[in-house]
Amino acid sequence: MSIWDRKKPSFGFISTRFAGLDGVSLETSKWADMLTSKGCSVYYMAGELDTDPKISHLAPKAYFKHEQITKVQQAIFIEKKRTPEISREIQQLKEELKAEIRKFHSKFGFEILVVQNALAIPVNIPLGLAITEFIIETEIPTIAHHHDFFWERERFNSIAAADYLRAAFPPVHPKIQHVVINSLAGYRFGSFTGASWTLIPNVVDFKILPPEIDNYNCDLRKEIGLDEDSLLVLQPTRVVSRKGIETAAELVKRLDHSKASLVITHKAGDEGQDYLMRIEEFVRLIGVDLKIISDRIDLKRGFDENGRKIYTLWDVYQHADFVTYPSIYEGYGNAFVESIYFRKPIVINRYPIFVADIEPKGFDVISFDNFITKDTINKIKDLVNNSGRLAQMAEKNYMLGWRYLSYEMLEEKIEQLLINYYGS
């Protein structure tokens, strides 16, 4: 008898936001889907939410873009100066947020707290401190799901934050079980904290076949300005420098296809607009058609205020000819998992996590080391024109994805975490 037959605990998810298409929000929704399929209840608290209000608790100061939060974050990480006033404000915000967490717990009475990245990357120091103290004071069983650590981002290197980082990013406590999304992060986490960790990579529900082009999304190419015979090269990421989008643009240029377009689905993100402007200037310089369609993509289909169709990311994948993933660094790679789910060929830079955790599993991709070569371009051209090879690659990758990156794997991993709390 599995633990799911004996226990159906309720879970309270907490983070800075659960909204939009960022990796943390997407992975949280997958965990929630799996847990609800096992009969468990799930609840959410964050500073920005697009979850069901009936199972959600909005705490505006949990959002990393809240005015008071950005003030203290700027002092700590940009000015790198901690005055007594800033310290007092951080403590006050911590107490306010801890009160919100208590309200969240009191309202829904969940049994297990799941912290999504808020104890790993310090985009909201008061929130991390508040969560840590709440765990210590209540001894609530906690799963801390870490996507990005502060030591992976140069901007979080500040002596003014050293005590906060040691205390809460991440904290070590007997009631906290730590989950990382790649093995390299796990080894670094272990050496930094001395704590154990569980590896759970990004997932997709492979037992449900990917959707196909239907009456709603059949016009997507036309709606974003492409012809039916255009080559749609998909970059399904945010526009941030570590995504290596210059390389994707160079790749499209060197394909020498008369109707090739680079299509990017996500916004510039939380790191400013400078890189976006650099990419727009670069594609003009080399003569590549770039379409950033983030204003047409959302979690659900619908229409915007101008009556234009809104599509989902899934809709765009169905139309892609192949996917570019030239990232310099990734925590794991949502776009990689999604691409193999949609049976799309992938051209991928061998970023460190790909080399450590993905490549050894035998996925069939076109890979390169940091820059595109003539051989890379020839492989892409040969693949795009070879339907038999495409089908063989797609099937192999799909089955490997089901084995290593599925909801079934996620279920087994979380079951083990629950056994650690409740016993076998």
CA gap 291, 224 in Å, rounded: 8
pLDDT per residue as tens, the chain (424 positions): 677 778 889 999 999 999 987 889 989 999 999 999 999 999 999 999 999 999 999 999 999 999 999 999 999 999 999 999 999 999 999 999 999 999 999 999 999 999 999 999 999 999 999 999 999 999 999 999 999 999 988 889 999 999 999 999 999 999 999 999 999 999 999 999 999 999 999 999 999 999 999 999 999 999 999 999 999 999 999 898 889 999 999 999 999 998 999 999 988 765 668 889 999 999 999 999 999 999 999 988 999 999 999 999 999 999 999 999 999 988 888 889 999 999 999 999 999 999 999 999 999 999 999 999 999 999 999 998 898 999 999 999 999 999 999 999 999 999 999 999 888 6
Half-sphere exposure of 353 (CA within 13 A, CB side): 26
pTM of the model: 0.88
Q: Are 189 and 146 in contact (CB under 8 A)?
A: yes
Structure tokens at 68: 């008071």
Which domains, from first to last, does the chain contain? 3-203+407-422 (3.40.50.2000), 220-404 (3.40.50.2000)
Rounded alpha-carbon distances, angstroms, from residue 85 to 82, 90, 91, 400: 8, 9, 10, 54
Instruction: Please count the other Cβ atoms lying within 10 Å of the Cβ belonging to residue 296.
Output: 18
Closest CA to 16 of 59, 50, 72, 56: 59
Closest CA to 29 of 61, 1, 6, 56: 56
> Read out DSSP for 348-360?
EE--HHIIIIIGG
Coil/strand/helix, residue 182: coil
